[in-house]
Amino acid sequence: MKDSGKALKTVSLDTMIDKHIGVVGTEKRDAFENELRIDLLGNAIKTARIERQLTQEQLGELVGVQKAQISKLENSVTNARLETVLKVFAALGARVNFRVEMNT
């Protein structure tokens, strides 16, 4: 491997996100962070379903929706109604907590 003589610069993840996505409070950054939260919700549903040894079809039957809807929730493909998300977590025996923070 050839040494180019250039030193690598360490940059924080926050700095990179600010530079390439936008700073906190911008429309692009808010959309990015909202998408991340939705992704986390989908992962939580999938993880809980697998831990309960349920298929997407079985979970859908418990909730009263089609398998495709469960798949979309897990893969963050759709904007689901809050009522549906709560039903999914209830069927999985999971407790849901929401935290709202007011900007001052």
What total number of domains does the chain contain? 1
pLDDT for the residue 70: 93
What distances in angstroms separate CA 58 from CA 36, 83, 86, 94, one per listed residue? 27, 19, 17, 16
DSSP annotation string for 39-85: HHHHHHHHHHHHHTT--HHHHHHHHTS-HHHHHHHHTT-S---HHHH
Q: pTM of the entire structure?
A: 0.60
Q: Please report, in tens digits, the pLDDT of each residue of the chain (104 residues total).
A: 555 667 777 777 678 778 877 888 888 877 777 665 777 888 889 999 999 999 999 999 999 999 999 998 898 776 677 788 889 999 999 887 766 566 66
Does the residue 9 lie in any domain?
Answer: no
Does the residue 3 lie in any domain?
Answer: no
Residue 12: both structure tokens together? 């924080």
Beta-carbon contacts of 44 under 8 Å, excluding residues fewer than 6 positions away, are 94
Domain containing residue 74: CATH number:
1.10.260.40
Does the residue 7 lie in any domain?
Answer: no
Does the residue 65 lie in any domain?
Answer: yes
Does the residue 34 lie in any domain?
Answer: yes
Angle of the 67-74 helix axis to the 56-63 helix axis, nearest 10: 110
